[in-house]
Structure 1
Amino acid sequence: MRNKFCVKCGTEKNLVNELCLNCFKEENSLLKNLKEIKILICDNCKKYMNKNSWREPFSNDHIKNIKKIVSHLLEEKIVANPKAKLKEVNADVNVHESAKFTNGSLLNVEAELNIVGVIGDIEMEESYNIPLKVRFSTCNICKKKGSNYYEAKLQIRPKNEKVLKFVKNYCKTKNLFISKVIEEKYGYDIYLSEQKEARNLGNLLKRKFNGEVTESKKIFGKRDGQDIFRATIAFRLEE
């Protein structure tokens, strides 16, 4: 810093790049820009859309979940000034207690974004008030749940509670739901929503429990002139 006049306001103070501290902060922002934020939340399971995939919710409480989602997306969408080093990023999100969270509803949310960082040796704090819209819709998984939809049947032979428990826990960690479980005389038939994940699950069972996996397909309809298949994936434990 050198003592001379600020080239912008004429103030005689310690200068940074020929600007007084106030003018330097006016001319230099910690943020370069903030990418567009589109917030879509499932009204049923509370998952949110991010990068074309449904992500797990932060909370089962709608308001807490919205606040966490907005904070997370704001932090993710920040584009910092290349000259700046951000130290803290916090978002205070206001959601009205009377807000509706039903399919098709649109919610106005106000977020205050607070940022602390440095440019060179100058420490700076900035605040931004950001109005956002949160839209509610039903995710594909929940839509399928409501219709008993399934793409694959996983057969477990013979009965094994440990394998059945593993399958149920696996489904909870994936975009995969169980339409129904039928207990047969010699094992279980588990109806699953996603064929690809069901196939992955069959191969995982084979590796984990040392069994054999076979697969067959059956046409159950057409879409855009193309045959649609349902798969039966049979997993058999070694006797």
Structure 2
Amino acid sequence: MTPLLYREDAYLREAPARVVAITPEGGAVLDRSLFYPKGGGQPGDSGWLEWDGTRLAIATAVKAEDGQSSVLVPAEPAALPPMGAHVVQHLDWERRHAHMRVHTALHLLSVVIPLPVTGGQIGATGGRLDFLMPEPPEDRAAIEDALNALVDRDLPVTECWITEADLDAQPDLVKTLSVKPPRGAGKVRLVRIGEPSEQVDLQPCGGTHVARTGEIGALRLGKIENKGKQNRRVTLLLA
């Protein structure tokens, strides 16, 4: 199993690694994955690699065929580090941290609007969730106030794991109708907001998050759009 450094420590900004594969498309696979690969509505990380005095810009990361490793995609055609080369991975930290803030904020949005989620997307300045919501919310200000109240409580954001069988026995944990939790390893990662005895949210998630809700900062509600007879798209912005 490739160590998933982005999951072990979402705040790690650089790490050494060794090149273990070059894909036919021209991407590099390392033996330790610092770059989060695109998935679950969260973009892949960007940054750069350094080796032997060479620097290679990385535009994004996608999942390898094994479903675990990250394939690093160069920003432009360039010579890749050779097989077996020792490199140092560097994240575009400001972009990654923005994704962490937005991702955690969207979990809070799913708390404030307790409806099934039919889609979502994370960006560096904000994100959106699509809800199974036949009618638009009556009070936008109340939603925004509730979100910022959860941010201001500076709640801890932690993780725990359950077996796939336990998740099957608790289907209410899965809020998203369009994105299913990753399976196959026998266990599923849950992200919890709040203390275990007073949690405000608990749901399966493979993405990166801030350590406390206070780190998100102020939030502003954006557009609420009609996306079909039963769906509304709610946009959330970092203020």
Q: TM-score range by the shorter chain?
A: under 0.3
In terms of fraction of residues, the more strand-rich structure is 1
The normalised TM-score by structure 2 is: 0.25
Q: Which has the higher contact order (CA 8 A, sep 6+)?
A: 2
The normalised TM-score by structure 1 is: 0.25
Whose Rg is larger? 1
